[in-house]
Chain A
Amino acid sequence: GAVVSQHPSRVICKSGTSVKIECRSLDFQATTMFWYRQFPKQSLMLMATSNEGSKATYEQGVEKDKFLINHASLTLSTLTVTSAHPEDSSFYICSVRQGNTEAFFGQGTRLTVV
């Protein structure tokens, strides 16, 4: 299956600063990547669908100006959390889909905003 690398795995930032999370598809060209967020003991919630060369599609309730997504190449998508607040602290995970079936996930990024 596809290998997905996410970086960093853990980040702590001060409130008001911005944080960039990278998601790389190492062995597969992904025109579409997905960004999820998981709060403790809750499900994975889809935030947005990242489309190579075009604008991301955001799920209802997700602020596109706060969570900036860039998918500039077929192997890299980035999620930037702008003006981070403590309530943005969460586990962020990206995924790629190979074909029409299962998705392959990155290892996730634990964001803590202090």
Chain B
Amino acid sequence: DQQVKQNSPSLSVQEGRISILNCDYTNSMFDYFLWYKKYPAEGPTFLISISSIKDKNEDGRFTVFLNKSAKHLSLHIVPSQPGDSAVYFCAARLRQGAQKLVFGQGTRLTINP
């Protein structure tokens, strides 16, 4: 049962344009959402997060949008840079218990020069 889904395994974007990565979730008990960036053979690096009480959070070139009614979040990167090429994971935190993170399958973003 995949509670967090990233339906696009890969995405290619031209340098300088906007990259939009999408994530859907099914569990209404998630109260916090995070995006991580991962390079091969490395651990994920935290990018940006959003609480379920908000609908937008912005940090420099990165903006995360949350649509609770649709159980959907997205990460916008603008302008996209070659160094943004990586695998991006969205994750959701369960409100109860150990507050563990549930990850999506990841989307491989390639920024073309």
Residues in A lying within 8 Å of B, measured CB to CB: 1, 4, 6, 9-10, 32, 34, 36, 41-46, 49, 57, 91, 93, 95, 97, 100-108, 110
A-B Cβ contacts below 8 A, count: 58
A-B contact pairs, 12 of them (CB 8 A): A6-B43, A34-B100, A36-B103, A43-B103, A43-B104, A46-B101, A49-B100, A101-B49, A102-B34, A105-B43, A108-B41, A108-B43
Distance in angstroms from A25 CB to nearest chain B CB is 13
The answer to whether B98 touches A44 (Cβ under 8 A) is no
The total of chain B residues at the interface (CB under 8 A) is 22
Report A-chain residues with C-beta under 8 Å of the C-beta of B44. 44, 93, 105
Contact residues of A: prevailing secondary structure: strand
The answer to whether B43 touches A42 (Cβ under 8 A) is no
Report A-chain residues with C-beta under 8 Å of the C-beta of B25. none
Which residue from B34, B43, B46 sits with its C-beta under 8 Å from A106? B43
The answer to whether B43 touches A1 (Cβ under 8 A) is no
In the bound complex, how far is the Cα of B31 from the Cα of A31, in angstroms? Answer: 22
| Given the contacts A43-B89, A46-B100, A102 and B49 also touching, CB distance less than 8 Å | yes
Which residue from B46, B99, B100, B106 sits with its C-beta under 8 Å from A43? B106
Report B-chain residues with C-beta under 8 Å of the C-beta of A4. 43
Residue of A nearest to B31 (CB): A100
Distance in angstroms from A10 CB to nearest chain B CB is 8
Report A-chain residues with C-beta under 8 Å of the C-beta of B42. 107-108
